[in-house]
């Protein structure tokens, strides 16, 4: 791998497995924590005040939310067992839960909220453990659309922050401070190189805050009145274990929003992998599973602590894209700063005193970059008319519901206002359309065989019979037979005889748009075939793999129009698409 390798992504300074200087890691961690802290605090404040909760409970909920965010952010980085992504994915309170959390507190009190959050978090653990079963539903088109809709959902709040200034403030104060912030971030981000680009967000926010301070917008009194070290008055709500009508009425909404939040996490975990490595890699779905599991831990801890649920913050992706730093040590620094800030009211006040217009300008840049990342995720495996239809319709359905223009008289109060959130409505639309495609697709043929080379005759017979049923000629049958042989050889060659004896191989084949789609579902391996095939064209492979492996990989690449390898903790899935050979 060389610096001028055309396959490398430019601008990546530190990959997840690299260690930047301590000062740089802490500095980036500090700015990330500072710039996301307001979002963590804002969500419980909106929920509790809208539901009529007490100030004591609000103080407790904010304190608990910051603590949980710190613990789970570190958990995402260090990857304990199967929990955690191993990428810089910040955790914080989830805005998608605002409507259902307000309903829970208003109708059943804080204890009801805690119970519903704990119960609904269990569904995330189940989804993480069996994520491979949902691979045809939680597609890149679905995940990318949800990512794009995050910007649509949050933008109204951001634009509202542009005018969030006290009465009597001079008219130029808000637009000027927002404009200065935006211009500084964009100027540095577009033109600067090296270390300066890493500090674009914090320089922009500090500059904008200084300009706002000249107009009296920076709340100095808030900082002066806060104590240096302290704890909130305990207001832990406990649990409501009566399981009455309120619980059963709200549980479906909580479960659905939890699953939508998990889809957002899937999208975030996929996207962060795209922006964290110099050389493009196949998505590691074990990291995605870990991210969803850590999200579940965050929701569980949030419920136990009596605060609003947790989720991954998509701003992590935008920051990694902007700064070019994806090192895990940065994420650990963020989590440590969160934990410290929970006990430092004075430092917390410094962040909370940042004027709304300044914060809005910064968040606008992040959301714009996130929207583009969502588009990249939608297109990552190519796009056909079906994927385009799903992503396009779902996106505009989300926009319509977010703006309350799609039959609000029928849907505005549905399930406690569930569909008023554009991400939820659009995500549901994308899931339903994807599910419809799967249910109405051509029938899939399948066979289960031994995970061993001795199964080649059965695989050959199965694939030739499949080609005959579809009506393909001998040339296509021969190509499918060769693909089956090379794929099996590549999968089993690194496994010992004992390992092969403990596993079974499931083959699933179907025809789509004149192509054969074949899935090889087996035990998880250490290497990703998709990455290894990509390396064949990058450099001589004799130093990378054994010659037998190279032959199989090259033949597989030649025979197949695409090879996609999805690695989960419990399952290894290789999807091969095969075009019919050209007529002679």
Do 104 and 314 touch, CB atoms closer than 8 A?
no
Strands 310-312 vs 91-93: parallel, antiparallel or unpaired: antiparallel
**Residue 320 and residue 12: Cα distance in Å, rounded?**
9
Query: Which pLDDT score, from 0 to 100, does residue 297 have?
Result: 92
**Residue 230 and residue 341: Cα distance in Å, rounded?**
10
Query: Which pLDDT score, from 0 to 100, does residue 517 have?
Result: 84
Do 33 and 336 touch, CB atoms closer than 8 A?
no
- What's the Rg (C-alpha) of the chain? 26
The tens digit of pLDDT for each residue in 113-158 reads 899 999 988 988 888 887 777 777 777 788 778 778 877 777 776 7
Query: Which pLDDT score, from 0 to 100, does residue 551 have?
Result: 45
Q: How far is CA 179 from CA 212, 218, 358, 362, 365, in A?
A: 11, 16, 8, 10, 12
Residue 547 — pLDDT band, cuts 50, 70, 90? Answer: very low
DSSP state of 83: B
**Residue 311 and residue 520: Cα distance in Å, rounded?**
33
Judge if pTM exceeds 0.75.
no
The DSSP-derived string for 325-359 is: B--HHHHHHHHHHHHHHHT-HHHHHHHHTS-HHHH
pLDDT above 50: residue 491: yes
Average pLDDT over residues 367-371: 76
Structural domain spans, the chain: 22-375, 445-578
Strands 310-312 vs 562-567: parallel, antiparallel or unpaired: unpaired
Residue 562: beta bridge partners?
577
The tens digit of pLDDT for each residue in 174-210 reads 889 889 988 988 888 787 765 566 677 778 888 888 8
Do 545 and 484 touch, CB atoms closer than 8 A?
no
Question: Could you tell me the end-to-end alpha-carbon distance of the chain, in angstroms, rounded to an integer?
Answer: 40
Do 259 and 127 touch, CB atoms closer than 8 A?
yes
Residue 92: beta bridge partners?
311
Strands 445-450 vs 504-512: parallel, antiparallel or unpaired: antiparallel
* Residue 242, both tokens: 């009566």
pLDDT above 80: residue 77: yes
- What number does CATH give the domain 445-578? 3.30.565.10
Strands 504-512 vs 572-578: parallel, antiparallel or unpaired: unpaired
């Amino acid at each position: 791998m060389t610096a001028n390798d055309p396959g490398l992504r430019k601008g990546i300074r530190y990959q997840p497995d690299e260690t930047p200087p301590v000062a740089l890691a802490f500095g980036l961690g500090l700015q990330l924590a500072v710039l996301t802290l307001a979002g963590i605090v804002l969500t419980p404040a909106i929920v509790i005040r809208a539901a009529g909760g007490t100030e004591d409970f609000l103080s407790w909920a904010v304190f608990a939310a910051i603590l949980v965010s710190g613990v789970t952010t570190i958990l995402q980085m260090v990857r304990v067992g199967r929990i955690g992504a191993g990428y810089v994915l910040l955790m914080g309170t989830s805005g998608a839960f605002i409507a259902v959390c307000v309903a829970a507190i208003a109708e059943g009190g804080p204890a009801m909220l805690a119970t519903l959050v704990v119960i609904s978090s269990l569904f995330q653990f189940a989804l993480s453990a069996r994520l491979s079963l949902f691979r045809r539903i939680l597609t890149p088109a679905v995940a990318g659309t949800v990512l794009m809709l995050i910007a649509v959902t949050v933008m109204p709040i951001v634009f509202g922050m542009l005018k969030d200034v006290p009465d009597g403030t001079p008219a130029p104060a808000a637009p000027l401070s927002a404009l200065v912030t935006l211009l500084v971030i964009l100027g540095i981000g577009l033109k600067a190189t090296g270390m300066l680009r890493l500090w674009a967000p914090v320089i922009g926010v500090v500059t904008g805050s200084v300009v706002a301070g000249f107009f009296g917008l920076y709340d100095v009194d808030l900082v002066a009145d806060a104590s240096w070290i302290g704890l909130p008055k305990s207001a832990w709500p406990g649990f409501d274990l009566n399981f009455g009508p309120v619980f059963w009425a709200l549980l479906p909404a909580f479960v659905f929003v939890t699953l939508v939040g998990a889809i957002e996490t899937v999208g975030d975990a996929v996207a962060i992998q795209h922006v964290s490595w110099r050389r493009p890699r196949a998505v590691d779905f074990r990291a995605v599973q870990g991210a969803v599991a850590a999200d579940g831990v965050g929701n569980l801890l949030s419920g136990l602590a009596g605060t609003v649920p947790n989720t991954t913050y998509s701003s992590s992706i935008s920051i990694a894209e902007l700064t070019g730093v994806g090192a895990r040590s940065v994420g650990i620094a963020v989590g440590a700063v969160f934990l410290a800030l929970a006990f430092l009211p004075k430092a917390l006040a410094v962040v909370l005193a940042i004027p709304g217009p300044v914060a809005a300008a910064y968040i606008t840049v992040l959301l714009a970059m996130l929207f583009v990342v969502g588009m990249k995720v939608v297109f990552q495996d190519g796009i056909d008319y079906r994927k385009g239809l799903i992503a396009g319709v779902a996106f505009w359905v989300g926009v319509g519901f977010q703006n309350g223009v799609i039959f609000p008289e029928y849907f505005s109060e549905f399930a406690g206002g569930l569909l008023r959130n554009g991400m939820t409505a659009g995500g549901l639309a994308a899931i339903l359309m994807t599910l419809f495609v799967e249910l109405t697709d051509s029938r899939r043929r399948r066979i289960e065989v031994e995970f061993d080379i001795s199964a080649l005759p059965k695989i050959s017979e199965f694939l030739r019979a499949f080609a005959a049923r579809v009506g393909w000629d001998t040339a296509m049958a021969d190509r499918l037979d060769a693909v089956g042989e090379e794929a099996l050889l590549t999968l089993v060659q690194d496994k010992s005889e004992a390992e092969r004896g403990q596993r079974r191989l499931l083959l699933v084949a179907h025809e789509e748009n004149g192509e054969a789609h074949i899935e090889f579902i087996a035990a998880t391996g250490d290497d990703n075939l998709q990455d290894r095939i990509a390396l064949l064209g990058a450099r001589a492979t004799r130093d990378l793999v054994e010659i037998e492996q190279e032959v199989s990989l090259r033949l597989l690449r030649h025979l197949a129009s695409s090879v996609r390898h999805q690695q989960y903790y419990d399952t290894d899935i290789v999807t091969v698409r095969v075009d019919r050979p050209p007529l002679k």
